[in-house]
Structure 1
Amino acid sequence: MSVMRLKTINSGETTSGGKRLVLAFALAAALGGCDTMSALNPFDRPETYKPEVVAEVPADKLYNEGLARLQNGDTEGANKKFDEIDKQAPFSPYSKRGLIMAAYSNYEAQKYDDAITASKRFLAQNPASPDAAYAQYILAMSYYNQIPDATRDQERTDQALRAMQELLDRYPKSEYVLDVREKMLVARDQLAGKEMNVGRFYLEKRNYTGAVGRFRDVITKYQTTRHVEEALMRLTEAYMALGITNEAQTAAAVLGHNFPDSPWYKDAYTLLESGGLQPREDRGSYISRAFNGFTRAVVGLTGLGRL
């Protein structure tokens, strides 16, 4: 159909209904002709539409297949089976089991972020489940196994500590409590190490006030870590540099009282002596108060563990 013919028709040679019909065909022609319009219509070619029918696998079979793959070390294949349960039978008893197993298999595959997601979903959907403590444990250990070294950002360490504390608060009688308490000491040691690194940097730059703030955090928040002895000696050093001798003497005295055989105490004592001072504890100092009733319980730092 030519453009000229369309203009003639639009000028009034046809009825209004005829105009609409011609315009419709004109639009079709603009898209490539009537054949193109027909080709775009799936109802004109029913023989090309072949819906694929996928037979559903029973939830119990998917679950058992997932377990079998997990036992054979195929964590990725196991995950697919457990995930399929949630898609095909989200309200079956196996859906809940599949979700906790998905969390575990992701953990075993070291896909910690996926394990965290699955654990959180399980806890949100099944807070009163007998397996809730286990899900919380997987969540905490997934964060714990991503703790970086003390020179890097410690967000994962903070998340691990929060998740472990939540387990202690919610499930104080669970079988995971002892292990979590030990791992919390390791995580706290990591945070203390980060504070020490920054504090030493400030000391080197002669930012003594900034250094005091970091070492103060170590002795008030992370007393059970291996860093507390050095932190007390560094407080002695920083306060001496600032001329606040009362706090310097207190830091050294507290160090000597709690860790008399520590090489850090010898250094602190020597530093005070060079200034004509001796260790002397001021009971009103925050340093002294921080160690009231102090009991050290440091475990061996053996690195990150497995479930």
Structure 2
Amino acid sequence: MGAGVLRVTRRDSNRTPRGQGLSRSLRTCAALLLAATLVSGCGSLFGKSKATGEVAAPDVIYGSADAMLDQQSYEAAAKQYEEVDVNHPYSTEARRAIVMAAYSYYKAGKYDDAVSAADRYLTLHPGTPESDLAQNIIGMSYYVQVLDPKRDQTNARKSLQAYQTLLQRYPESRYAAEAQNRARILRDLLAAGEMTVGRFYLRHNNYLAAINRFRVVVIEYQTTVQVEEALGRLTEAYVALGIIPEAQSAAAVLGYNYPDSRWYRNSFALLQKHGSKPQAHEGSWITKTWNGDGKPT
């Protein structure tokens, strides 16, 4: 699945997380520092001049970090942004430097460092203009590490949680639409993972373990494409255990929502074979989950 594009714009926008505007000569100086790794002039690349021991001004350090970012030296840029916060924690640039360090670590593929920096930003500066960007960086850092449904889904769960937080706290964010789409993809992926394990248990006649997996899909991922099969598999597992009321309820909900489904046809035939038919029982957890009338809660 595509990782998408994490947008970060310059300071001429109200939402820009970049630093203070720099004069052309100052930015040129920063670029020269980057290219030649000089320790004089505008200040050290690491925030302190080796010759004098003096710490460069925050806008100078930030400017050199911007230059590194422009040249795609992402990890170096991240460390330079961190120098702003280390040497000038109360400066105007310090707050933005933290989130830009997170962004730079993300671009460098240092996802743990990106999450750590973004978390730090949200802890120190909740509700500030770049908060939604920091939250999005957390979601993206986990999202790009998501693997196929047969593998451990820890990163998928963390990414989904991060995107859900973004949507709850910043519903008007420019990242909201992208977060909504990725959250949908992640739910489908997590549901697919539960189904993969559930099928394995079902094949090996471990019906209770299988039911527990399919139950997760029905309760937590009702809007995914996996729920149709999950209801059919629940019918099958409950029939195998002789728990007919739950099997009937699963089939009834399945028939209400997917009347033309092959899973419903199979479930109907299976119940008929055992002298029964789909029926929603009031005490069934499946019926309760779906509002008692086959409609999802």
Greater CA deviation, 198-207 or 150-159?
Answer: 150-159
Q: What is the alpha-carbon distance in structure 2 between the residues aligned to residue 122 and residue 215 of structure 1? A: 38
- State the partner residue of 1:270: 269
Superimposed CA distance per residue, residues 221-273 of structure 1 (whole angstroms, 9 cap, x where no aligned partner): 11111110111010110111111222212211211210122222222223223
Q: What is the alpha-carbon distance in structure 2 between the residues aligned to residue 108 and residue 264 of structure 1? A: 44
- State the partner residue of 2:180: 181
Superimposed CA distance per residue, residues 138-159 of structure 1 (whole angstroms, 9 cap, x where no aligned partner): 1222122222322222222222
What are the within-5 Å matches in structure 2 for residues 67-82 of structure 1? Answer: 67-82=66-81
Q: What is the alpha-carbon distance in structure 1 between the residues aligned to residue 190 and residue 268 of structure 2? A: 27
Deviation at 1:55, TM superposition (A): 4.4
What are the within-5 Å matches in structure 2 for residues 96-245 of structure 1? Answer: 96-245=95-244
- State the partner residue of 2:56: 57
The one-letter code matched in structure 1 to 2:83 is E
The one-letter code matched in structure 2 to 1:86 is D
Give the TM-score normalised by structure 2: 0.75
Deviation at 1:52, TM superposition (A): 5.5
Deviation at 1:216, TM superposition (A): 1.5
Superimposed CA distance per residue, residues 16-63 of structure 1 (whole angstroms, 9 cap, x where no aligned partner): xxxxxxxxxxxxxxxxxxxxxxxxxxxxxxxxxxx9634433221222
Superimposed CA distance per residue, residues 162-221 of structure 1 (whole angstroms, 9 cap, x where no aligned partner): 222322333233232232222222222222222212211221221212211221121111
Deviation at 1:103, TM superposition (A): 0.8
Tell me the SS of whatever aligns to 1:264.
helix
Contact 2:98 2:121 in 1 (8 A): yes
Contact 2:252 2:278 in 1 (8 A): yes
Structure 1, unaligned runs of 5 or more = 1-50, 297-307
- State the partner residue of 1:287: 286
- State the partner residue of 1:253: 252
The one-letter code matched in structure 2 to 1:112 is Y
Greater CA deviation, 231-240 or 265-274?
Answer: 265-274
Q: What is the alpha-carbon distance in structure 2 between the residues aligned to residue 80 and residue 206 of structure 1? A: 54
Structure number with higher helix proportion = 1
Give the TM-score normalised by structure 1: 0.73
Q: What is the alpha-carbon distance in structure 1 between the residues aligned to residue 174 and residue 264 of structure 2? A: 40
Backbone CA RMSD of aligned residues: 2.2
Q: What is the alpha-carbon distance in structure 2 between the residues aligned to residue 157 and residue 224 of structure 1? A: 17
Greater CA deviation, 121-130 or 268-277?
Answer: 268-277
**CA 143–294 in structure 1, closer or farther in 2 if over 3 Å, else same:** farther
**CA 217–128 in structure 1, closer or farther in 2 if over 3 Å, else same:** closer
Structure 2, unaligned runs of 5 or more = 1-49
Q: What is the alpha-carbon distance in structure 2 between the residues aligned to residue 176 and residue 295 of structure 1? A: 28
Q: What is the alpha-carbon distance in structure 2 between the residues aligned to residue 267 and residue 135 of structure 1? A: 48
The structure having more radius of gyration, on CA atoms, is 1
